[in-house]
Homo-oligomer: A and B are copies of this chain.
Amino acid sequence: MKTLVIFDIPSNKIRNKIGEACKDYGLMRIQKSSFFGDINNNRREELRLRLKKILDIREGNIQMFPICDKDLQMRKVIINQKEELSYETDN
Contacts and interface: CB of A to CB of B under 8 A. Distances in A.
Contacts of A68: 68, 70-71
A63 interface: yes
Contact of A8 (B34, B51, B61, B75): B34
Interface residues of A, number: 38
A51 B84 CA distance: 22
Interface of A: 4, 6-8, 30-34, 48, 51-52, 55, 57-68, 70-72, 74-82, 87
13 contacts: A4-B6, A7-B31, A31-B33, A60-B78, A61-B81, A62-B77, A62-B78, A62-B79, A63-B77, A64-B76, A66-B71, A66-B75, A68-B70
